[in-house]
């Protein structure tokens, strides 16, 4: 289970850095995954799902 937590944390950090770099007109996700729309969409899906997973794991796991 720790492997999934590590991967989701990496995606969350990448998503956070992307928002920081967007403020400077640089898209980190596009730079990492290229200009293929499918790869970029997949990266954004993975970032979003990682956020949901981390929210559940960190805050809701013991309360449900």
Task: Convert the pLDDT of each residue in 30-47 to its tens digit.
Answer: 888 888 999 999 999 999
Give the model's confidence band at 8: pLDDT under 50 very low, under 70 low, under 90 confident, else very high: very high
Angle at the Cα of 38 from the Cα atoms of 37 and 44, rounded to 5 degrees: 90
Amino acid 50: pLDDT? 95
N-to-C CA span, the chain: 19
Q: How many CA atoms lie within 13 A of 60 on its CB side?
A: 7
pTM: 0.80
């Amino acid at each position: 289970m720790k492997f999934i937590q590590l991967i989701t944390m990496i995606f969350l950090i990448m998503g956070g850095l992307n928002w920081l770099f967007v403020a400077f007109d640089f898209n980190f996700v596009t730079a990492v995954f290229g200009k293929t729309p499918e790869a970029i969409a997949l990266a954004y899906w993975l970032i979003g799902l990682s956020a949901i997973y981390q929210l559940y794991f960190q805050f809701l796991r013991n309360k449900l």
